C-alpha cells in the first residue's frame, strides 16, 4: 500500500511539472515571453510581479480581458498591445492567466 501511495504522489508531481511547462510553452508560443519573464522585468513586468500585485484578488477575468484588449499605466507607461484569439485561444489565455497568478 505504501508503494502505491509513493507512485501516486510521484505521478502527481510529474503531472504538475508538465502542466507548468505546458503553460510556459503556451505563453511563449503566444509571444508573451517576448516582453515578460517569470521572475524579472523585461519590457513588461515579471509574472511574479503581476501575481504579487493581484494577490488575494479575484483578478483572473479582468487580467484576461486586459490581455485581450491591451492596456497601459498599471505597471508603467509602456503599453501592452492587444492579443486577439488568433494569437492565443480563450482556453490557453485562461490557463495562462491562472498560471501567472500562481507565481
Full-model pTM: 0.78
Cell of 57: 484578488
- CATH code, residues 2-101: 1.10.760.10
Please write the tens of the pLDDT for every residue from 52-103.
Answer: 999 999 999 999 999 999 999 999 999 999 999 999 999 999 999 999 999 9
How far is CA 62 from each of CA 8, 27, 66, 80, 89, rounded to the nearest angstrom? Answer: 36, 18, 6, 15, 16
Amino acid at each position: 500500500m505504501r508503494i502505491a501511495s509513493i507512485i501516486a504522489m510521484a505521478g502527481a508531481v510529474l503531472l504538475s511539472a508538465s502542466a507548468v511547462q505546458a503553460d510556459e510553452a503556451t505563453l511563449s508560443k503566444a509571444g508573451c515571453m517576448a516582453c515578460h519573464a517569470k521572475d524579472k522585468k523585461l519590457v513588461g513586468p515579471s509574472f511574479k510581479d503581476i501575481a504579487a500585485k493581484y494577490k488575494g484578488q479575484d483578478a483572473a477575468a479582468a487580467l484576461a480581458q486586459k490581455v485581450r484588449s491591451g492596456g497601459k499605466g498599471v505597471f508603467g507607461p509602456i503599453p501592452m498591445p492587444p492579443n486577439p484569439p488568433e494569437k492565443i485561444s480563450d482556453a490557453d489565455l485562461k490557463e495562462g492567466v491562472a498560471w501567472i497568478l500562481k507565481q
